[in-house]
Structures are given as structure tokens and as C-alpha cells.
Amino acid sequence: MVSVAFINPLSDEGEIIVRELGDFGRVLSDNDDLMQIVTGSRSQEISNDSFIPRNYVDLAIKRIEWFVKKKNDRNFDNNQYDFLFNTEILKFDVIAFYLLCQAVGVKYGPNSRESRVMVESQGKLIEYRLEKLSKNVREEVVTNILNSLISSTHIKWTFFEDLISTKKLKLQDLILDQGEIVLDKDDFLERFSHKIHGRKPEKMYEALIGDRIKELVMIKMVMQNTENYILKVGEKSDREIEPNPILLELADKISDVLAASVRSYGIGGSYRGNVKASALNPKAFPPCVKKVMEGMKSGGRNDAIIMFLTPFISYARLYPSVFSENITKQISDIDPSLSIVQNEVLPLIFEAAERCTPPLFEDQPQDKVNLNAKLGFGMHQDPDLKNEGETIWYTPMSCEKVKIHLPSLCKPDENCKKIGNPLSYYNMMIWKVRKEAKTESTTDNKE
């Protein structure tokens, strides 16, 4: 039986392990037990010393590294991290988890990129750890943890308010009935059997809820609790005078790992390849942008061109990696003479405005001023360096926002499932489109 703490370090078992550690100073000294477990893991790659964590802090870093590389490195080799899936590592792993949360909480707080990566990495780690278990053991662990996290069999959907608010769970993924979430099989059969015709209710339960949803809910709850714990640490550290230097150092190392991944694999998105600013390729535009480019009917055309299209086109052309780099810039940081703005960005926007019925800037010249404002050039007719910074350069709306403010634009296709912002769609597609173009041209050459 695998310990619950291997999946949920925030469980009672996990807390006991932390209490047993005692002296904090030990986390940096070489630990033979740890190294032995690591090198003894079944498929562990040991050809290089750097693969082997020597102490708790090392192990903590490895946890983050595993996640970041797995996501971004095309040559990722899981065998370098096999120890993470060896249940014998339990005690070390739990301590490493707490070290990470505390380091992130103290230095960066819950709304940071570091915190997000920590929370996501815990989620992924759980997924992969569960996969290595046999079906029975897996079911048992999941049920145990769920029972400890959810005390009642009648769960109101509002119990998951946090998870829904942070989009870890979608309301549509859950089966709701009379305000309650149905997870349990008997409960399901009692509520719905009589309504189901021509299909086996048991099978329907397995498909729609079953282990899949139970695991999903469990994992997301542990992730949410991790986030809450980081928040708690952050709030507590605000009241303290001196944070522990070991934690601060670990925090720096975590951001080094993230920074290194940005440098070597482009950005921390789910697609590979570097997104550098380059000429726009309309083929890679998401459906919503294509729709605006075709021109809008009078209703909503202002918002569509000014609030939606202007930020999208300007960022896609000048600063496509804004969300991963997460550094605020001005247009002139990238286009100092504004020649790209004048020659590439504005013409596209004006073209779309022209195609509106009636054409946008013809009957409402004030809109030109608003457009300028969205680019960061204040309330003026034309972009001018001397006014830059009077307003901020608006970042592109998320899909969520588009759906609410301009519902008629969003016509999601298959690729939309993987992204949350039209700009990410573009970044993902531009890479695909380029690859397709290349294969096309090589076939051309053969002929």
C-alpha cells in the first residue's frame, strides 16, 4: 500500500513526516539514505552525477526541473527522474514539497509564476504517480484521499467554488443534481437509473463519472490546497522579520530553473519552438480574429476593432510572448521608430475597420483616438513617441473575455481547446503553419 502522503503531502501523514524532520539545517547536507534510494530506483539513469540529488534542497529543485523539462524539452528523458516515482522516497519527497511551497510563498507569494508552476507540477506529479499504480491500489488511494478531503456524501457544488473560480474544474465536467455533485456510484444509480433508457446505468456511471472524475476532483483539490498553503505561508511571512535564508536561496534556484527553460525552450507554454516577433501570418489567426478581419456589422464593431483586434494585432506582431515573459513593455521598446506600427500593424487594423458596415473610422473619428490609447499612445489622433505611456498598451483579451463581451466572435475550432487566449492560439499555429509550409516546399522540390 502506498502512503497517502506520496500523493497528498498536505495530508495528516505528510504533516507527521515534516514534524519528524526536526532540525531545519539538515536540508542542505548530503544525505546518504536519499542518494541510495535514488540510485536504487529501477530505471534510474546514473551515468551523470548531476542526475542525482544529494540533499533535500536538491530534490526540491529536481521536482520542478522534472515538470519544466517534461513540458518543454524535446529530448526529455524520464529515466533521469525515475526516483520521483519510487515510493521509497516518500519522506524526502514530502519534505521537498514543503520546502518548495515555503520558498515560493515567502519570496513570490501565491500570484506568481513560481507559485503556478509549483501547483501545476504537483498536479502532474500526482497524475504520473497514480499511473504507475495497479488499478486496485490506485482506486483505494484516490478514495482514501477524497474521503479525507470531502467529509460529507452530499457535496454542494459551491464546495468547489475555488476550483471553479480558478478554472481547475469546469462546472460542465461535473454531474450536478439538486445543487449537489454526484460522485458516488450508488448515489448516481439512485438518482438517475429510472431516467436512463436503453443504456446500462452502471456503464454510464463509469463513463461520465467513475474513477476519471474522482481522480480529477482529487488532484485538483490537492492542487488548490497547495495554492492555499502557499498563500498562507506568504501571509505569515509578511508578519515575520527575517525569512529563513535557506528558503530564500531555494526560491532563487526555482526561478533560475524557470528562467533557464525560457532561454532554452522558448516559453513555458505547451507548444515548442521559440516565439519571436516576426511578420504576421494571417493563416495562423484564430477564428475570432479571422471573423473580425472580415469586417463587422454595426453592432459591436467598436469593441471588436478597438478592444479586441488592436491589442491582438499589435502584440502578435511585436510582442507575442508577452504572457510567458510577463514583463510589461511599451511599443517603442520593440519598435523604436514605430515603423512596424505604421507599416504593418495599423494598416491591418484599418483594413478590418474599412470592411465594417458602415466603415468604422468614417462615422466615428473619436474611435481613432481610442485605438491610439489602446496602443499606449494616449488620447491622440496618431501614435507619437512623445505621448507614449500616457495610457497603457492593452494586452489581448482572453477567450473567456471574448465570450462574455463579444460572444458573436468566438467560433472555436479544434485548436481552441488547447489555449485560453487568442494570442496563444496564434503562437501555437504559427509554428504549425510554418512546418506545413516547409513540408510542402520539400515535396515541391521532389517533383
Partner 1 sequence: MIKIEYLTPASPEERKRYYREEWDIKQVPDFIAHSIQEREFGFDHVGRGPNDRYKVFRNPDLLKRFLKVRTPFAAYCSVAFYDKPRRRDKWTKAELVFDVDAKDIPIRTCECEGVCEICLNEAREIVCGIIDTLKEDLGLKNIHIVYSGRGYHVRVLDDDVTHVNSDVRSQIVKYIVGAEVPENEYSLDYEKVSYEHFVIPFGYPNVFTERVKYSILHLNEHSNLDEVNKKLLKDVLKYRPLIEDNNWGMFKNKIGPLRYKKVVNGIASMNMSLVDAKVSIDLKRILRLPSSLHSMVSMKCTEVKNIETFDPFKEAVPKFVYERK
Residue 157 neighbours by CB under 8 Å, 6+ apart: 164, 171, 174, 176, 179, 180, 181
Chosen residue from 132, 156, 236, 411 binding ligand SF4 by CB under 6 A: 411
Residue 28 touches which of ligand SF4, partner 1, none (Cβ within 5-8 Å per kind): none
**Please, what is the minimum distance in Å from the beta carbon of residue 408 to ligand SF4?**
11
**Please, what is the minimum distance in Å from the beta carbon of residue 402 to ligand SF4?**
4
User: Which amino acid type is present at position 186?
Assistant: D
- Beta strand spans in 122-259 (E): 155-156, 176-177, 180-181
Chosen residue from 201, 287, 378, 389 binding ligand SF4 by CB under 6 A: 287
Residue 140 touches which of ligand SF4, partner 1, none (Cβ within 5-8 Å per kind): none
Q: Is 165 helix (H, G, I), strand (E, B) or coil?
A: helix
Instruction: From 2-10, 123-131, 206-214, 316-324, give the range in contact with partner 1 by CB under 8 A.
Output: 206-214
Q: Is 294 in the site for partner 1 (CB under 8 A)?
A: no
Residues 162 and 254: their CA atoms lie apart, in Å, by 26
**Please, what is the minimum distance in Å from the beta carbon of residue 16 to partner 1?**
35
Q: φ, ψ for residue 297 (rounded to 5)? A: -75, 165
Residue 204 touches which of partner 1, ligand SF4, none (Cβ within 5-8 Å per kind): partner 1
Residues 290 and 404: their CA atoms lie apart, in Å, by 18
Instruction: From 210-218, 273-281, 343-351, 408-416, give the range in contact with ligand SF4 by CB under 6 A.
Output: 408-416
One character per residue 409-428, x = contact with partner 1 (rule: CB under 8 A)? -xxx----------------
Chosen residue from 206, 325, 344, 367 binding partner 1 by CB under 8 A: 206
Angstrom CA distances, 254 to 8, 58, 64, 257, stand at 21, 11, 7, 5
Cβ atoms 332, 393 nearer than 8 A: no
Distance of CA 230 to the CA centre of its chain: 17
- The nearer residue to ligand SF4, 273 or 287, going by C-beta atoms, is 287
Other CB atoms within a 10 A radius of the CB of residue 250 amount to: 25
Cβ atoms 346, 287 nearer than 8 A: no
**Please, what is the minimum distance in Å from the beta carbon of residue 34 to ligand SF4?**
45
Q: Is 171 in the site for partner 1 (CB under 8 A)?
A: yes
Residues 229 and 6: their CA atoms lie apart, in Å, by 17
**Please, what is the minimum distance in Å from the beta carbon of residue 427 to ligand SF4?**
11
Run of H or E including 67: helix 56-72
Q: Is 134 in the site for partner 1 (CB under 8 A)?
A: no
Adjacent-strand bridge partners of 24: none
- In the chain, count of helices (H) and strands (E)? 22, 3
**Please, what is the minimum distance in Å from the beta carbon of residue 182 to partner 1?**
8
- The nearer residue to partner 1, 185 or 253, going by C-beta atoms, is 185
Residue 118 touches which of partner 1, ligand SF4, none (Cβ within 5-8 Å per kind): none
| Residues of this chain that bind partner 1 (CB under 8 A) | 135, 156-158, 161, 164-167, 170-172, 174-180, 182, 191-192, 195-199, 203-204, 206-208, 210, 212, 400, 403-405, 407-408, 410-412
